Structure 1
């Protein structure tokens, strides 16, 4: 194990792009050293790591893994400890999203969506738990409002994220009092990579009391609060959705 870093260390999965990259930037600016996980976005991960390292040398490690391969997950924790000597936080941000209309669902669909959205957060949290407990650390799971308010045509995804909600609460019990475990459930923050029609976008915003798309920074701020400031909060799901769940 490396010598102990003087700064807290957080492992962020799916950190190369979109919300994950925003979380990484916010945590780094707040003084955290980071382990940035990615699966296929090697160029984006390298660009982000270079920018953060330029701001503070020797503060970032990038790691690559397919989270669907459960055997690879303990190595991510080992890499963090080998580099920094500690692990203070885990942000299970990586997600797999795809439609599964009823009548077309296959076992492969089930495996693909549950492996990353439910099984990986469990196994990675399990692997990280001893190191987190040693630092009185915290876990934050990135969830989805669709876990509690299902989206038509996406039954498997909604079920997987629902399992992650239950996992968040179960781990809060299992790991207390040494480790706090909470979740953040975003609303409309970024439209999917494949796009969304104007009518669908307008309908979503019409159901959002604040009447606008959220910002990545809104999610990142909630994650930072749960990791750093919410010392008496565990087992909670923070909805950052502009009031949409109302």
Structure 2
């Protein structure tokens, strides 16, 4: 009598169990202060009021992992979070400063922009970017500038891109479809044979898109192993 085979784990539950392991690692005001590592790093970016910190907290099922300030634009550092086993983390989340908040002093805004630009362009361990876009507003000029900035690395497949259309619970069905169509058109401009692009409507309140986003991020950090290469059966001919 054969023992019953165990069912395959639910992909969403597996991914959410992984994101739940996120814990604070370090914070840095400049790129040079970030640790050098070989782990895949996934950066979260977006306008200061796009719901970035709230989305990170919902994805990790933690209330205050990412600091969600009542005053948008207050986060001034890059915050790193480690994921996976405590003794052997397998990925990092990077929470980048929000951009575009008018009340921030110009000097601070320029400094943050320089830090973000350096990170997105030069960070060697960066493997994916999660861009938060308020679904009610669509891609603002600053969002489009960020897309254009990362487009070269996305186009070559060096980094992957996931767009979360946040606050989707505020939209009716027609507006939600329109937001998706607009995002699809814009991302189509970045599409190449090597580009890894995805998007989803997302709501921290209704949990819409959380499972999908978690599975995308888990797949980024755990790519399938390449197929084993079998050595060709060769035999030297011996002549005598």
TM-score scaled by length of structure 1: 0.47
Query: Which structure exhibits the higher relative contact order, with contacts defined as CA atoms closer than 8 Å and separated by 6 or more residues?
Result: 2
Report the structure, 1 or 2, having the larger strand content: 2
Report the structure, 1 or 2, having the larger helix content: 1
Structure exhibiting the larger radius of gyration computed from Cα positions: 2
TM-score scaled by length of structure 2: 0.48
